[in-house]
Amino acid sequence: MSGARIALVVMGVSGSGKSTVAAGIAEALGLGFIDGDGLHSPESVARMQAGTPLTDADRWPWLGRIAARLADAEQWPAGLVIACSALRRAYRDRIRVGAPGVRFVFLEGPAELIRERMAGRSGHYMPESLLASQLATLEPPAADERDVQRVDIAQPVGQVIAAAVRELRG
């Protein structure tokens, strides 16, 4: 890492470990951290709690808020890491437009592992029942998305964080 400001999105489906990994990366690099779930509107949170998948119309303002935070160099001079699903290319592109230079860490792993992790957590508003819709919506980053680093979540979380940090420092 050359001392340049970092704007980073840790992305993946619910249950992939986005919040934990993003917080770990932020801590390791001395950056700010925001869980993108906290930027959803109350209406969107209520929809998800009820087991209703969000529509693109629900997501556009949320993605705009995420991009604005990532681009806010005054509030986050060293940089910011945000946990955000960013499931579709259009969502990542929307963030790219609002936060030029943003980078992504894509947490990928088998659906069975993610389902198991979701079943074992408590206090999260995203029910396990929405995993299928998230997997159906997911457009894994394409080869031309050169600002995306893929990390396998089957390894221990400390190794996931270390792999992402190595690449960011590299």
pLDDT at site 20 = 94
**32 strand-pairing partners:** 80
Beta 79-83 vs 32-35: how paired, if at all? parallel
Rounded alpha-carbon distances, angstroms, from residue 108 to 66, 72, 73, 83: 21, 28, 29, 14
Q: What's domain 28-169's architecture?
A: 3-Layer(aba) Sandwich (3.40)
Structural domain spans, the chain: 28-169
Main-chain dihedrals φ then ψ at residue 10, nearest 5 degrees: -95, 115
Please report, in tens digits, the pLDDT of each residue of the chain (170 residues total).
456 899 999 999 988 999 999 999 999 999 999 999 899 999 998 988 888 878 899 999 999 999 999 999 999 999 999 999 999 999 999 999 999 999 999 999 988 888 887 665 555 445 556 677 788 889 999 999 999 999 999 999 999 999 999 988 87
